[in-house]
C-alpha cells in the first residue's frame, strides 16, 4: 500500500509494473526493462520516490550511467521530479573525481590522464600512416578488453586464447606490447581511463580511511544499463557499496551487446547471484513500437539469444506490417532503400524521422553513394564519412605507393591489388572496407568505360559519397547496429540481414552468436511505426543466404502487408475550404461528439505521452481531440483542417489518429 503522505504525481502516469518497480521496498533490486518500457523514467522515479519517502538523502545518492549524456538527462529528470541534487556520472568520471580528491587530501599531485592510447603505442610500434592507425586501434582495443576483464599482461595471452579472440597478430606478441605500454605509461607518470577503475578499487581495498569517507558520503546507489557492466566496473561498485545493500540497477538482458568489449552479459539476469537476497522485477509494456513491430522484435530473439521472457505488451494502435525484402545484390539494396527514403519524404516524413541501420561501418559506403544520387541528405552516427576512415586511407596509401612505382597504372590493376589485400589482411574492419572500396572501384570502371586512373577514381568517390551530412539539420541517420542502441526513429530500415553479417561471420561460439542475435533485436527495436528489413542475395560479388533469424520473423508476418506512406499535407490554399466544409457538415452549436471515439483518442494520447515522457497536452489539447471526435476526419487534409493540427503534428500523429477514427466508424 502506498503511503498517502508521498507525492502521488510520482506514480500517477505509471503502469502497474512501473509503479511496482518504483515503490518496491527491497534494498537490493534489479529492474529488467525491455526496449520502450520507460526504463529511464522508472529509474528516476524510483530515486525520487526513495528520497521523498526518506529512504535516501539526495546528497548521499550516487547514480551511475554509461555516458555523460545519460548522466545529464538523469539529473535533469530528477530536478523536474523535485528530487533535489544528486551526484550522477559514468564509472570513469566518478572514479577520477574520487581519486583526485584523495590525492588533494594527501597533498599529492594526481597523474595526467592519457586521452589516447595511440600516443604511447605509436612510438612503441614504430610505424606511421593509416595502416599503422589500424594496428594501433586494434591493440588498444585488446588492452581495453583485458583491463575491463581485470586481465594483466602476464595473463593476456592465455585469456585471449581461451576466449577465442580474433587478433591481428599473435596473442603473445600483443601481451608483450601490452606490458611495454604499461611500463612506458608508468615511466611518463600517466594513467589511462581503464586505470581509473583499477586504482579506485585498489584505493578502497588498501586505504580504510579513504574508503570509510567515500562510503559515508555515498550510501544509496543506482546503476543504469547494468547489462553492460564489466568485471572491472563491478569490482568498483562492490568497493563503493562495502557491506551495505542499498543498490538498484536497471537494464535489458536483450540489449547485452558489448561482451566483445569486456562486458559481463549475465550480470543483470544473475543479479540475485551476485547480490544474494536481491529482488528482481520485470517491466511488461513496450510503449515505443506498434504491436506488429513488438511481435517481430520478440520473434527475432528466439532461444539462441539466451533471453527468456514473455512478449512485452504493446498498447499502441496497430500499424503497418513490417516488411522483409530480398534484393539481387548489395548495390540494388542500397538503391532501393534510398528510393524508399525519398518516397517516405514525399509522403510527409521529415528526413530526421528515418534511419538506415547496418551491421558494419563498411556497409555505409553504398548507402552514402545511393543516397547522394537520390538527393537524400544523410548524417553518419558514431563514425566518419567513408573516405575519412583509417581503413580507406590505408587502402589509398597502398595504391599510391604502387602508383609512384608504376605511374599511369590502370585502375583495374589497383582493383586486383585491393581484392588481394582484402583476402590477406587479418583485420576484419580493414578487409570489409577494402571489399567496399573494390566494389565502388568496379562501379566507377563500369561508368567510366575505360581503364580509369587512381586520381579520377578518388575524385569520383569524393562526389559519390559526399551527401549532405552536416551536423544537426534534417537528415536521414546512417548508423551501425551498435551505435543505434538507445535511439529510436518512426521509420527504420534494417539492412544486410544475411549470414556473414547477421550474425557476423566470425561469431562461431554460442556466446558470440547469442550476442549477435541480441544485437539484431536491438536494431529492430529502434523502430516506432514502420520497420523494413532487407538482405542481398549477393554482396561484394559473393552469394549470400538470408540470416537464420529471418525465418521466425517471416512466420510472424504471414499475410501482413505494409500500409502506404503518409500522403502529403493539403496545400494551404485548400485548407480554409476544407475547414469550412467540415464545419458545415454538422449543425452549428450541436454537441455531436462521438464519446467512444473521444475516449479512444485520449487513451492513445496518454499511451504516447508515457512512451515519450511528454505532458499529454503537448500532443493535442482536449479541445482538439473533441473537434476530431466531432468532425471524424477521413483524410490527411481533413485532419489538417482541425484547429490545433499543423503540418508537424500531422506528420507525427496523423497516421495514428486517422486509424483510430476509422476503427470507430459508425456501424
Torsion angles phi and psi, residue 392, rounded to 5 = -75, -40
* Mean pLDDT, residues 477-503: 95
Query: Residue 454: CB partners within 8 Å, gap ≥ 6?
Result: 399, 400, 403, 409, 411, 414
Torsion angles phi and psi, residue 169, rounded to 5 = -150, 165
Can you tell me the distance from the alpha carbon of 126 to that of 141, in angstroms, rounded to the nearest whole number? 18
What's the pLDDT band for 402 if we cut at 50, 70, 90? Answer: confident
* Mean pLDDT, residues 93-99: 88
- H-state helical runs in 242-353: 271-274, 291-301, 330-346
* First vs last C-alpha separation in the chain: 44
CB-CB contact of 524 with 512 (8 Å) = no
Neighbour count for residue 235 (Cβ, 10 Å): 17
What pLDDT does 84 receive?
A: 64
- Whether the pLDDT of residue 578 is over 70: the answer is no
What pLDDT does 663 receive?
A: 86
CB-CB contact of 561 with 351 (8 Å) = no
**Cα→Cα distances 326→182, 320, 496, 497, 531, Å:** 49, 19, 10, 9, 15
The CATH architecture to which 286-382+469-565 belongs is 3-Layer(aba) Sandwich (3.40)
What's the pLDDT band for 226 if we cut at 50, 70, 90? Answer: very high
- Whether the pLDDT of residue 266 is over 60: the answer is yes
**Cα→Cα distances 444→337, 388, 431, Å:** 21, 19, 20
Can you tell me the distance from the alpha carbon of 140 to that of 145, in angstroms, rounded to the nearest whole number? 9
* Mean pLDDT, residues 95-104: 88
Question: Looking at the domain covering 8-102+197-282, what would its CATH class be?
Answer: alpha beta
Q: CA neighbours within 13 Å on the CB side: how many for 70? A: 21
What pLDDT does 135 receive?
A: 79
Map out the domains of the chain as residue ranges.
Answer: 8-102+197-282, 115-191, 286-382+469-565, 386-464, 572-663
What pLDDT does 449 receive?
A: 61
Neighbour count for residue 53 (Cβ, 10 Å): 16
Question: 3-state SS string over 571-605?
Answer: CHHHHHHHHHHHHHCCCCCCCCCCHHHHHHHHHHH
Positive or negative: CA dihedral 526, 530, 536, 539? negative
My answer on whether omega of the bond before 503 falls inside 30° of 0, hence cis, is yes
Q: Do the two domains 8-102+197-282 and 572-663 of this chain adopt the same fold? A: no
Write out the H or E segment, with its range, that includes residue 394.
helix 390-405
**Cα dihedral angle (593, 599, 600, 601), rounded to 10 degrees?**
70
Of 257-261, 272-276, 449-453, 613-617, least confident by mean pLDDT is: 613-617
User: What is the three-class DSSP state of 465?
Assistant: coil
pLDDT tens, position by position, 461-486: 765 565 544 445 689 999 999 999 98
For domain 572-663, the question of CATH label 1.10.150.80 is answered with: yes
- Whether the pLDDT of residue 94 is over 60: the answer is yes
* Mean pLDDT, residues 602-615: 74
Of 152-156, 573-577, 607-611, least confident by mean pLDDT is: 573-577
Average of per-residue pLDDT values in the chain:
84
Query: Residue 611: CB partners within 8 Å, gap ≥ 6?
Result: 36, 38, 287, 288, 316
Amino acid at each position: 500500500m502506498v503511503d498517502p503522505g508521498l507525492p502521488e504525481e510520482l506514480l500517477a502516469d505509471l503502469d502497474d509494473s512501473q509503479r511496482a518497480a518504483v515503490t518496491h521496498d527491497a534494498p537490493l533490486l534489479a529492474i529488467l526493462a525491455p526496449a520502450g518500457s520507460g526504463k529511464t523514467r522508472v529509474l528516476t522515479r524510483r530515486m525520487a520516490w526513495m528520497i521523498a519517502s526518506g529512504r535516501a538523502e539526495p546528497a548521499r545518492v550516487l547514480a551511475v550511467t554509461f555516458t555523460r549524456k545519460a548522466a545529464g538527462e538523469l539529473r535533469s529528470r530528477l530536478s523536474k521530479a523535485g528530487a533535489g541534487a544528486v551526484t550522477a556520472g559514468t564509472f570513469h568520471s566518478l572514479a577520477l573525481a574520487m581519486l583526485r580528491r584523495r590525492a588533494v587530501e594527501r597533498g599529492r599531485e594526481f597523474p595526467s590522464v592519457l586521452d589516447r592510447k595511440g600516443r604511447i603505442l605509436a612510438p612503441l610500434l614504430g610505424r606511421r600512416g593509416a595502416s599503422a592507425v589500424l594496428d594501433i586501434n586494434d591493440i588498444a582495443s585488446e588492452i581495453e578488453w583485458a583491463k575491463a576483464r581485470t586481465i594483466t599482461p602476464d595473463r593476456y595471452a592465455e585469456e585471449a586464447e581461451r576466449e577465442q579472440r580474433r587478433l591481428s597478430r599473435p596473442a603473445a606478441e600483443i601481451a608483450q606490447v601490452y606490458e611495454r605500454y604499461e611500463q612506458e605509461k608508468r615511466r611518463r607518470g600517466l594513467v589511462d581511463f581503464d586505470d581509473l577503475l583499477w586504482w579506485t578499487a585498489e584505493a578502497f581495498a588498501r586505504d580504510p580511511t579513504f574508503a570509510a569517507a567515500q562510503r559515508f558520503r555515498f550510501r544509496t546507489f543506482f546503476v543504469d544499463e547494468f547489462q553492460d557492466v564489466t568485471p572491472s566496473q563491478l569490482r568498483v561498485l562492490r568497493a563503493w557499496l562495502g557491506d551495505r545493500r542499498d543498490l538498484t540497477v536497471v537494464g535489458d538482458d536483450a540489449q547485452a551487446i558489448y561482451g566483445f568489449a569486456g562486458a559481463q552479459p549475465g550480470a543483470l539476469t544473475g543479479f540475485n547471484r551476485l547480490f544474494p537476497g536481491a529482488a528482481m522485477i520485470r517491466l511488461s509494456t513496450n510503449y515505443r513500437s506498434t504491436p506488429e513491430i513488438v511481435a517481430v522484435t520478440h520473434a527475432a530473439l528466439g532461444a539462441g539469444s539466451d533471453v527468456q521472457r514473455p512478449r512485452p505488451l504493446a498498447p499502441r494502435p496497430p500499424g503497418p506490417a513490417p516488411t522483409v525484402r530480398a534484393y539481387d545484390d548489395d548495390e540494388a539494396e542500397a538503391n532501393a532503400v534510398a528510393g524508399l527514403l525519398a518516397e517516405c519524404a514525399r509522403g510527409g516524413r521529415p528526413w530526421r524521422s528515418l534511419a538506415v541501420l547496418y551491421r558494419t561501418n563498411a556497409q555505409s559506403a553504398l548507402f552514402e553513394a545511393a543516397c547522394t544520387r537520390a538527393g537524400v541528405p544523410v548524417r553518419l552516427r558514431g563514425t566518419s564519412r567513408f573516405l575519412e576512415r583509417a581503413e580507406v586511407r590505408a587502402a589509398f596509401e597502398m595504391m599510391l605507393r604502387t602508383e609512384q612505382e608504376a605511374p599511369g597504372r590502370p585502375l583495374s590493376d589497383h582493383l586486383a591489388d585491393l581484392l588481394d589485400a582484402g583476402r590477406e589482411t587479418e583485420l576484419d574492419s580493414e578487409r570489409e572496407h577494402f571489399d567496399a572500396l573494390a566494389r565502388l572501384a568496379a562501379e566507377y570502371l563500369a561508368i567510366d568505360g575505360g581503364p580509369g586512373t587512381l586520381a579520377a577514381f578518388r575524385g569520383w568517390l569524393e562526389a559519390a559519397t559526399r551527401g549532405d551530412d552536416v551536423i544537426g539539420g534534417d537528415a536521414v541517420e546512417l548508423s551501425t547496429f551498435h551505435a543505434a542502441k538507445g535511439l529510436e526513429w518512426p521509420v527504420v530500415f534494417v539492412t544486410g540481414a544475411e549470414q556473414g553479417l547477421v550474425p557476423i561471420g566470425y561469431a562461431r561460439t554460442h556466446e558470440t552468436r547469442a550476442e549477435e542475435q541480441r544485437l539484431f533485436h536491438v536494431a529492430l527495436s529502434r523502430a516506432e511505426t514502420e520497420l523494413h528489413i532487407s538482405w542481398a542475395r549477393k554482396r561484394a560479388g559473393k552469394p549470400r543466404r538470408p540470416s537464420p533469424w529471418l525465418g521466425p520473423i517471416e512466420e510472424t508476418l504471414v499475410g501482413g502487408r505494409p500500409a502506404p506512406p503518409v500522403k502529403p499535407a493539403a496545400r494551404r490554399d485548400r485548407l480554409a475550404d476544407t475547414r469550412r466544409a467540415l464545419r458545415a457538415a454538422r449543425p452549428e452549436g450541436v454537441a455531436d461528439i462521438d464519446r467512444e471515439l473521444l475516449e479512444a483518442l485520449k487513451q492513445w494520447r496518454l499511451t504516447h505521452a508515457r512512451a515519450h515522457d511528454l505532458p499529454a497536452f503537448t500532443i493535442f489539447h482536449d479541445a482538439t481531440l473533441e473537434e476530431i471526435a466531432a468532425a471524424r476526419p477521413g483524410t490527411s487534409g481533413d485532419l489538417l483542417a482541425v484547429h490545433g493540427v499543423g503540418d508537424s503534428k500531422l506528420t507525427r500523429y496523423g497516421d495514428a489518429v486517422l486509424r483510430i477514427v476509422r476503427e470507430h466508424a459508425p456501424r
